[in-house]
Chain A
Amino acid sequence: MTFEIILQAIVSGLMMGLIYALIAAGLSLIFGLMNIVNFAHGEHLMLSMFSSFWLWQLLGLDPLFSIPITIVLMAFCGVLTHYLLIRYILKAKMLIQICATFGLSIFIRALAQFLWTPDFRSVNQPLLEGRIEIAGLFIGQPQLFASGVCLLAFALLYLFVSKTETGLALQATAQDREAAEILGIPSNRMFALGWAIGLGCVGVAGGMMTNYFFIFTDVGVNFALFAFVAVALGGFGSIIGCLYAGIIIGLVESLGGLLIDPSFKLLYVFAIYLLIVIYKPQGLFGRY
């Protein structure tokens, strides 16, 4: 095993990690805002990939250009999720909240399987494909592009949440729903906004992954699991924490696969989760 192979694994782990991070950021935002874990997060990712795929298949729109449409569609889906389901279980017991979003995940996945069959699909000849060589390392173009967009999305998300008035209102609602309402911040609308942004992040990730991933109905399962781990690792509700956590997970996955055994990738990531939640339950960068 040469140094180049390890370096290669680090680079691809880094690029995968950024995707995990962005997916986790959406999850973390929703969790931090209303203390509800979206167990259907992976299915939302799957939906965004299918949205991007169908736009390509039916309208001939390259996944590169359909990203804005996918974001809007996913944001709308988030608002819908809030008003049709989440709104009713805000005050329910945690057990019921978990069951409700778990039910949503079963429902979306089964419906997708019913409508589109469990076949694997992929986009033929997207604009971005192939790889480039940088200093002896081979880097996939779509992956590289996706990493750039992920970082950009993170920067925008961070600026939005910490600098704009709406973002501050969002944070206020997250900290104390009732106090925020007294100050005239409509919490229900803030929640809907949180869902829209959270699933919008997933839309960005899904839209770019369509370029280099197979699209099938179970695609979201593992990504959602990794996102859960990333959120726990980064500290619930911390956006920057998600970024670091996603990268750590990507690196562990790729290096563990290279150095030990690729068929147990999930177990390495799971081991991190256990270590973190047992020894540092507030996460590495948690606010609490």
Chain B
Amino acid sequence: MEDLLSQARQEPLWNTNRNIVVGLTALSLFLVVFPLFGPGPFYLHLMIMIFMYAVMSQSWNVIAGLSGQISLGHGAFFGIGAYASSYLYVQYAVSPWLGILAGMFFAAIIAIAIGIPMLRLSGHYFAIATLLIGISIQVIFQRWEMVGAASGLWIPLTEESSWTALQFHDSKMPYYYVFLGFFVVTYLLVWRLSSSKIGFRLRAVRDDPQAASSLGIDISKYKIIAYAISAVIMAPMGSLFAQYILIVDPERMFNLEISIMVLLMTVLGGIGNIWGPLLGVAILIPLSEYTRIYFGGTGSAVDLILYGLILMLICVFRPDGLISLFPKRWLEREKQR
């Protein structure tokens, strides 16, 4: 009993640990002033990708790390977000800001619609089902004439950079701050979530479904909540990415690689730990951008070879992720007095 208790205390939540507070303050100050040093567009792009994937991996972490369900088709929600905001903008000139909200709404609805029948499944069955769903949604969007079928949607360019249309043509700096904002808000919210009642119940469901259910926790309800939250986190990134590259097509937005990346980054960093995804992203995004520079586009697949290899190595040697390499006292809460 004592064992379990101390184990539970060690679980890295938010904490009053001074190292982390100091580290985070320094990091956020650095991130806010970073563009003012005038880094080139490449470094701004790199940081934008890091923010984007950090949020996406955190989304995957919520469903896999907190509630223990593996989703192999999580890119679907990314694409849904992208299509929702872009379609509203292209057809009805709705500001992408509202489009983002619409995307989150649709993602939540779809997650709940999928979740109600599927989250009763466990383990392998759910993983396979999500793989099938990811591919099915791509197939549907490839054939769906209303949203441009296989050629997708082009977002019409505004004449000048505009905050309402969320398009910036002269500099990547505004994009940087928009992505940074979403990144910070998401991490704060997930931290709140993980130490909230829902968070604890989710973890109980993950670790011992039977015990959780005997304590009166409605297992499938909480799994669905986690799935919907995870989808809601994912969707805005799709919308923002669509605004960033200004084109939406099924090949790009529902690419299986998105689902692979978020899984890989989270597992690499440390699954079930709020900092895990960030660590994984900070390692993999620079790696992927540099391999792209040295080996050309993704056609040669060198980056994917590396990802596959890394994923297997992590699973064999460090199933808790690289975050477990850090000394425990950095991460755990200070001793209760």
Answer yes or no: do A and B interact.
yes
Give residues in A with beta carbon < 8 Å to B: 31, 37, 39, 85, 88-89, 92-100, 102-111, 113-114, 118, 221, 225, 228-229, 232, 263-264, 266-267, 270, 273-274, 277-278, 281
Q: How far is the CA of A124 from the CA of B188 in the complex (A)?
A: 60
**Smallest CB–CB gap between A76 and chain B, Å?**
19
- Determine the distance from Cα of A229 to Cα of B316 in the docked complex, in whole angstroms: 28
Q: CB distance A263 to B132 under 8 Å?
A: no
Known pairs A105-B308, A229-B128, A278-B121 / 18 extra A-B pairs, C-beta < 8 Å: A85-B312, A93-B319, A95-B271, A97-B315, A98-B70, A99-B315, A100-B312, A100-B315, A100-B316, A103-B312, A104-B308, A106-B311, A110-B302, A114-B302, A114-B305, A263-B143, A266-B136, A270-B132
**What distance in Å separates the Cβ of B129 from its nearest Cβ neighbour in chain A?**
7
Could you jot down 22 A-B contacts, CB within 8 Å?
A: A37-B128, A88-B316, A99-B70, A99-B267, A102-B311, A105-B308, A106-B304, A107-B311, A108-B308, A110-B308, A111-B305, A118-B299, A221-B135, A229-B132, A232-B125, A263-B139, A264-B143, A266-B139, A270-B132, A273-B132, A274-B117, A278-B117
Query: A273: which B residues are within 8 A, CB to CB?
Result: 128-129, 132
Are A277 and B312 also in contact (CB < 8 A) when A96-B319, A114-B301, A267-B139 are? no
For residue A228, which residues in chain B have a CB less than 8 angstroms away from its CB?
128, 131-132
Interface of B is mostly: helix
A100, B127: Cα distance in complex, Å? 13
A94 touches B123 (CB 8 A): yes
Give Cα A264–Cα B140 distance, bound, in whole angstroms: 8
CB distance from A35 to the nearest CB of B (A): 9
Question: Are B125 and A281 closer than 8 Å at their CB atoms?
Answer: yes
Residue interface mask B64-94, A partner, CB < 8 A = 1: 1000101010000000000000000000000
Q: Which A residues are CB-close (under 8 A) to B311?
A: 99-100, 102-103, 106-107
Closest to B271 in A: A95
User: What is the bound-complex CA distance between A195 and B143, given in angstroms?
Assistant: 38
Contact B139 A277 (CB under 8 A): no
What residues of chain B lie closer than 8 Å to A225, measured between beta carbons? 131-132, 135
Known A-B contacts A85-B316, A103-B311, A266-B136; the reply to A98 vs B124 at CB < 8 A is: yes
Known contacts A103-B311, A114-B301; is-contact A232 B128 (Cβ 8 Å): yes
CB-CB nearest in chain B for A217? B301
**Distance in Å: Cβ of A245 to nearest Cβ of chain B:** 14
Task: Using A88-B316, A95-B68 as known contacts, say yes or no to A266 and B135 having CB atoms under 8 A apart.
Answer: yes
Q: B127, A98: Cβ atoms under 8 Å?
A: yes
Give the complex CA separation of A118 and B298 in angstroms: 12
CA distance in complex: A113, B68 (Å): 32
Contact partners of B68 in chain A: CB under 8 A: 95
Interface on B for A, CB 8 Å cutoff?
Answer: 64, 68, 70, 72, 117-118, 120-121, 123-125, 127-129, 131-133, 135-136, 139-140, 143, 260, 263-264, 267, 271, 299-305, 307-312, 314-316, 319
- Is there contact, CB below 8 Å, between A95 and B70? yes
Smallest Cβ distance from A109 to chain B, in angstroms? 7
- Collect the chain A residues with CB atoms within 8 Å of residue B133's CB: 270
> Cβ of B267: which chain A residues have Cβ within 8 Å of it?
96, 99
- In contact, A103 and B304 (Cβ under 8 angstroms): no
Are A94's CB and B124's CB within 8 A? yes
Determine if B312 and A264 form an interchain contact, defined as CB atoms under 8 angstroms apart.
no
In the complex formed, the residue of B with least CB distance to A118 is: B299
Do B319 and A277 touch (CB < 8 A)?
A: no
Taken together as a complex, chains A and B put the C-alpha atoms of A232 and B307 apart, in Å, by 29
A31 to B271, CA, bound (A): 24
Task: Tell me, in angstroms, the Cα distance from A106 to B258 when the chains sit together.
Answer: 13
B264: chain A residues at CB < 8 Å are 103
Complex Cα–Cα for A113 and B263 (A): 21
Are B301 and A113 neighbours in the complex by a CB distance under 8 Å? Answer: yes
Query: What separation, in Å, do the CA atoms of A281 and B117 have in the docked complex?
Result: 12
